């Protein structure tokens, strides 16, 4: 049975395994007792703790940044809603002004006989009443709706000042002034 070469190979393998186990155990004992390894383990522990603290600080910073951006987003959404409301109000104002302007155009396009009759009536009324009782020509519609705005504008105040004083935005004030000028030009 010992003549078989396989037995020799198996015995040689066992000797090598036992020798390596003995050699590895001897080296691991010398490595574990080395003082440099303990310092390395301590340094590595401190490094890991410091990394953990930095990670926690980054997570807190990220959470705070997200909260701030959410607040800013909510604030901007509120402003957008307010601007949409103002835009809707201005659109209604413009439609009312267009309607009034169209009514004025229809009145201006009335037949000549009616226009002449109205003028004759005005002249006869004017002749029969003293000048002090005559009413001045009616103010344009837009100026009667925003008297404070036009008072400030006639005082020479800037659009920015008027907007801030009346709680409107500059675009709205400019639009009202422009519509007033168009209304006066149409008269």
pLDDT digits (tens, 9 = 90+) for 71-108: 888 888 888 888 888 888 888 888 888 888 887 777 66
pLDDT tens track for 15-58: 888 878 777 766 555 545 556 777 777 877 787 778 788 878 88
Q: Which of 184, 181, 158, 160 is nearest to 171 (CA)?
A: 160
132 has pLDDT over 80? no
* SS3 annotation, the chain: CCCCHHHHHHHHHHHHHHHHHHHHHHHHHHHHCCHHHHHHHHHHHHHHHHHHHHHHHHHHHHHHHHHHHHHHHHHHHHHHHHHHHHHHHHHHHHHHHHHHHHHHHHHHCCCHHHHHHHHHHHHHHHHHCCHHHCCCCCCCHHHHHCHHHHHHHHCCCCHHHHHHHHCCCHHHHHHHHHHHHHHHHHC
pLDDT tens track for 145-155: 899 999 999 99
């Amino acid at each position: 049975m010992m003549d078989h070469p396989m037995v020799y190979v198996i015995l040689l393998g066992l000797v090598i395994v036992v020798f390596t186990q003995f050699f590895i155990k001897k080296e691991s004992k010398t490595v574990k007792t080395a003082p440099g390894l303990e310092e390395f383990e301590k340094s590595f522990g401190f490094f890991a703790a410091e990394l953990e603290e930095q990670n926690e600080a980054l997570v807190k910073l990220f959470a705070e940044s997200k909260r701030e951006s959410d607040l800013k987003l909510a604030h901007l959404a509120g402003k957008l809603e307010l601007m949409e409301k103002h835009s809707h109000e201005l659109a209604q104002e413009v439609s009312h002004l267009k309607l009034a302007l169209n009514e004025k155009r229809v009145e201006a396009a009335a037949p000549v006989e009616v226009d002449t009759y109205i003028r004759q009536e005005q002249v006869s009324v004017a002749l029969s009443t003293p000048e002090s009782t005559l009413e001045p020509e009616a103010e344009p519609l837009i100026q009667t709706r925003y008297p404070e705005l036009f008072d400030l504008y006639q005082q020479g105040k800037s659009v920015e000042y008027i907007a801030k004083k009346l709680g409107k935005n500059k675009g709205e004030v400019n639009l009202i002034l422009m519509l007033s000028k168009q209304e006066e030009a149409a008269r």
